[in-house]
Amino acid sequence: MDNEKRTFIGYHGTDYEGAQCILKFKNFNLSSNDNEWLGTGIYFFIDKNKNKAITNAHKWTKNYKHFKFYRILKSVITIDSNKILDFDNEILRDLYHEYRHKKVEDTKKRGIDIETNKIKFDCQVINDICDTLGFLASKQQRYISVLEDKGVPNSEIPNCTILCARNNNLIDKNSIKVQKGGSNYG
């Protein structure tokens, strides 16, 4: 893999207070729950269609987070291409599955129960791979049900592209701007 830089325009959905804090300190809090889709980090919608990415970030604030007052923050994220665990890349997907199988074997050998929640297990494996191999971000096309209107069945076909930046140093501090904001209810 080459070492060229990749730049993404990302849209992060948050509430009014969170946005004020991010804008003041030029720093995002890392999402670090044990069920993060792409491991620990700062999540952005990076769909090629800007309006779609903004809409997805807005729907996230409304349908999942249930924020009364929301803000969509636009940021520029720059990462060495060889530091992105990009699940659109077949070689990196295969690497993920090799690590996943090894983690299952190692866990069984130690007599520890294996995490059976697939999202939690994915989160553990992705964090392990990133920590071990030095990946600074992960990227994936994914289906997120809360981006759909009510009554639309879930799908296995992705409806968005997300980027998880593992630290704030990847984000151009001067690029963080409010792209959209308002009330989700009223």
Q: pLDDT-derived band of residue 166, with 50, 70 and 90 as boundaries?
A: very high
Q: Round the average pLDDT of the chain to a whole number and report it.
A: 95
* CA 27/CA 14 separation, integer angstroms: 13
Mean pLDDT of 117-127: 94
The average pLDDT across 120-141 equals 97
The pLDDT value recorded for residue 113 is 87
CATH architecture under which domain 6-183 falls: Alpha-Beta Complex (3.90)
pLDDT exceeds 90 at position 172: yes
What does pTM read for this prediction?
A: 0.95
**What is the arithmetic mean of pLDDT over 99-108?**
94
pLDDT reported for residue 178: 98
pLDDT for the residue numbered 185: 86
- Determine the average pLDDT of the residues in 38-55: 97
pLDDT tens digits along 47-98: 999 999 999 999 999 999 999 999 999 999 999 999 999 999 999 999 999 9
pLDDT for residue 1 is more than 70: no
Average pLDDT over residues 98-112: 93
Q: What was the pLDDT predicted at 2? A: 60
pLDDT in tens, 111-120: 988 888 899 9
125 has a pLDDT exceeding 90: yes
Q: Which pLDDT does position 149 carry in this prediction?
A: 83
DSSP the chain: ----EEEEEEEEEEEHHHHHHHHHHT-PPPB--TT-TTSSBEEEE--SSHHHHHHHHHHIIIIIS--SEEEEEEEEEEEEGGGEEETTSHHHHHHHHHHHHHHHHHHHHTTPPPP--HHHHHHHHHHHHHHHHT--EEEEEE--GGGSPTTPPP-SS--EEEEEESSGGGB-GGG-EEEEEEES--
- The torsion angle over the Cα atoms of residues 166, 62, 143 and 20, rounded to 10 degrees, is -20
